[in-house]
Amino acid sequence: MPELPDVETFRRTLDHHGLGRPVRRTTVSAPDLLADISPQSLGRLLKNHPLAETRRHGKVLFAAREGRDGWLVLHFGMSGSLVMIEGRDAPPEHAGLVIAFDLGGFAYVSPRRLGMIGWTQSPEAFVASRGLGPDALAVDRERFVPDLRGHRGAIKCWLMDQARLAGIGNVYSDEILFHAGIHPKRAGNTLDEPEAKRVYEAMRRVLEEAVTARADPARLPDGYLLPRREKGGRCPRCGEALATARACGRTAWYCPRCQAPDEVSR
């Protein structure tokens, strides 16, 4: 699933290649992805208007129409992506939405059709309507630490709860906890303050590094779990075979030597 680093990469790509270019045509091939708007209405809202600004909150990308009197909303679901279209190239496979400029454009690609395309008056209104928590790269430590330490369940589940913290999913929660040296099923309320601060600092460092790497595991520095997060994978720090555990319905990968399993949630 695209997480914060992926969506920030999409945002920067659209920022660089898509702003200031009037929209000439909008093609919706997957109307089931639209939320509370018809293909015709979306087309009318965008036609002949340049996109003026992009923003991101958690896993959601926003693109403002000129005048900033309305914003396109893109959530990428389980397997979605944003792909720029060069010149007169054909749209990529599984393009649920294509926004065309005079030349080129971009496509919202969703092979599994589990994302969402919508419209909102402002990012703030959308975030409030969906009950999203603060963005993981915008939340300050003074809010993060007491919220985490007040959670009685597994820390991995807290990190992935979009109502508490927006942007982190299954993959980057594992990476963050590996760098913090915390077991994924450790209860948040068993962490002391230095441990909770360590999780916060690991979150900032991992997400910023992943954004710099354009969310490409091959570009991450040595010492990251993500490229080894598979059967037969070994800890990049100590060489121990990686282990798995179930937390909130997802599979967590961790190093049993570097991430002590004591005081885990049951």
Active site residues: 2-3, 59, 250
* Nearest of 253, 238, 207 to residue 4 by alpha carbon: 207
The partner residues of 84 in beta bridges, in order of sequence, read: 106
* Nearest of 141, 203, 213, 149 to residue 172 by alpha carbon: 203
Report helix, strand or coil for 100.
Answer: strand
At a CB cut-off of 8 Å and minimum separation 6, what does 251 contact? Answer: 170, 244, 245
Tokens, residue 228? 């080894």
The DSSP annotation for 35-94 comes to SS--HHHHHHHHBTPBEEEEEEETTEEEEEETTSS-EEEEE-TTT-EEEEE-TTPPPPTT
Asked if 51 and 21 touch (Cβ cutoff 8 Å), the reply is: yes
